[in-house]
Amino acid sequence: MKISRRIEKVKESPTLAITAKAKEMKQKGDDVVSFGAGEPDFDTPPHIKSAAIKAIEGGFTKYTASSGIPELKKAICEKFRDDNGLAYESSQIVVSCGAKHSLYNIFQVICDEGDEVIIPSPYWVSYTEMVRLAGGVPVILDTKQADGFKVKPDALKKAVTKKTVAFILNSPSNPTGCIYNRSDLESIADILIDNKITVISDEIYEKLIYDGEKHVSFASLGKEAYGLTFTVNGVSKAYSMTGWRIGYLAAPTKELSAAVGRLQDHSTSNPVSFAQKSAVEALKGDQRCVEQMAAEFKKRRDYMVERINSMKNISCVKPRGAFYLFCDISKTKMGSFDFSKKLLEETKVAVIPGEPFGWDTHIRLSFATGMDEIKKGLDRLDNWLKALK
Ligand code: PMP
Ligand code: GLU
């Protein structure tokens, strides 16, 4: 049977594939240390789990409104107001099956065949594929490590063409952990506003932020920025709820959220009913769990950055947010796939190659794994690099 041209062009997700391979090796009894995880290693907090159990026992197990239950939309509006200084009404919110789904929906709604979407590189692996799936053309905009992996206004200006429809902003970033502060955002805002470019602001790592940095939402810069922006977020990373599949978007107008809603009506329908109830609890309940997780991530980050930068032929910039180190391996003269494959085969340490993030000179190490495992994995990496010819 033939496979459609649309799907033939789409690559497999290496983040999911490598994480799954490491898990499988572990289950078979291999002593694998995985730095692949794109998800917090903590359990979902008990008060959030209880909300789902209560919902199931109370019979909340049927279809809901396709774009999400009113109670959750209200909690999301309150979150945007309190955390981000953003005023949205419930009618501007669409709840989906994870932020990945929210992003997918946006590209389907805004892209026509041949429309260009500017993606700063390094980028999260799914952006390019989602744009392609919508018939769009990913335009890769390279950043420099020396600029903290952030887009500079001149470079952005050059990437804009008559076909540009959107720009993806991911702060804090996966895989670099860089954060755009207010002045970084202001420096690119005028170009985006002048050219009426839609901004897709992926803020999924907002709560995992260190060193007293402050998260700024692009839409909060002013009326014009707000009018161009889809703000995307979810509960996966902040509340360790990756398996629950709840993400959401806020659209600048009701017409746009309704367009996303129509797509969802005819594709997935509502996200899981009782997971929505848990998301309400996550957003409105006790937030100490988020602080505890972020504090633990910070400890691990500090330890890993110091160790990596003391090793031979590898280095990294200290990430300010998220839970990844994006490490430069160019001195080894190996491509990132080759490096990752050999490392896994020879030491049973799993890392993610940088090539699918746009940078073959780098690898990504997640610190969403316990301290003992981190120590063990870094010892192996250190010894392997020392022995490398
Ligand atoms: N954006 C980025 C940058 C991510 O790393 C992820 C993690 N998969 C997502 C969005 C989607 O997260 P989820 O679908 O679990 O909400
Ligand atoms: N976002 C995570 C990662 O980059 C999870 C895996 C995925 O959805 O790609 O590893």
- Residue 9's pLDDT is 84
Contact 358, 335 (CB under 8 A): no
Residue 149 CA to residue 314 CA, distance in Å, equals 17
- At residue 19 the predicted structure's pLDDT band, cuts being 50, 70 and 90, is confident
From 284, 305, 325, give the residue that closes a domain: 284
- Residue 20's pLDDT is 82
Residue 5 CA to residue 223 CA, distance in Å, equals 40
**Edge-to-edge strand ranges of the sheet holding 324-328:** 315-316, 324-328, 362-366, 352-353
Distance, CA 143 to ligand 2 centroid (Å)? 21
Asked whether the predicted pLDDT for residue 2 surpasses 80, the reply is yes
CATH of the domain at 196: 3.40.640.10
Q: Which 3 state secondary structure label does DSSP give 142?
A: strand
By alpha-carbon position, which residue is closest to atom 10 of ligand 2?
38
Of residues 15 and 329, more confidence is placed in 329
- Residue 23's pLDDT is 84
Structure tokens that stand for 120 in this block:
């700063």
- Residue 386's pLDDT is 96
Instruction: Summarize the confidence of residues 26-46 as an average pLDDT.
Output: 92
From 234, 263, 284, give the residue that closes a domain: 284
DSSP state letter for 95: E
C-alpha radius of gyration, the chain, whole number: 21
Distance, CA 17 to ligand 2 centroid (Å)? 10
Q: What average pLDDT does the structure give for the chain? A: 96
- At residue 86 the predicted structure's pLDDT band, cuts being 50, 70 and 90, is very high
Domain tally for the chain? 2
From 257, 284, 311, give the residue that closes a domain: 284
Asked whether the predicted pLDDT for residue 389 surpasses 80, the reply is no
By alpha-carbon position, which residue is closest to atom 9 of ligand 2?
15
Residue 305 CA to residue 316 CA, distance in Å, equals 7
By alpha-carbon position, which residue is closest to atom 2 of ligand 2?
38
248 and 336 in one domain? no
Residue 177 CA to residue 318 CA, distance in Å, equals 8
- Highest averaged pLDDT of the listed ranges 10-14, 17-21, 226-230: 226-230
Q: CB under 6 Å to ligand 1: residues?
A: 38, 98-100, 124, 170, 174, 202, 204, 234, 236, 242, 247
215 and 143 in one domain? yes
* Ligand in closest contact with the CA of 98: 1
Distance, CA 375 to ligand 2 centroid (Å)? 23
DSSP state letter for 321: B
The atom number, within ligand 2, closest to the CA of 15 reads: 10
Distance, CA 389 to ligand 1 centroid (Å)? 37
Distance, CA 100 to ligand 1 centroid (Å)? 5
pLDDT digits (tens, 9 = 90+) for 165-205: 999 999 999 999 999 999 999 999 999 999 999 999 999 99
Strands 315-316 and 33-34: unpaired
Show the domain range for 328.
5-44+288-387
Percent of the chain with pLDDT over 70: 100
Residue with tokens 């409104």: 65
Residue 163 CA to residue 131 CA, distance in Å, equals 14
In a domain, 56, yes or no: no
165 and 27 in one domain? no
270 and 297 in one domain? no
Contact 240, 43 (CB under 8 A): yes
Of residues 151 and 30, more confidence is placed in 151
Asked whether the predicted pLDDT for residue 233 surpasses 90, the reply is yes
pLDDT digits (tens, 9 = 90+) for 322-377: 999 999 999 999 999 999 999 998 999 999 999 999 999 999 999 999 999 999 99
Packing angle of the helix pair 336-347, 371-387 (nearest 10 deg): 110
Structure tokens that stand for 351 in this block:
């890392």
88 and 67 in one domain? yes
DSSP state letter for 44: P
Q: How far is CA 268 from CA 43, 67, 265, in A?
A: 27, 10, 7
Give me the DSSP letters along 257-292.
HHHHHHHHHTTT-SPPHHHHHHHHHHHHS--HHHHH
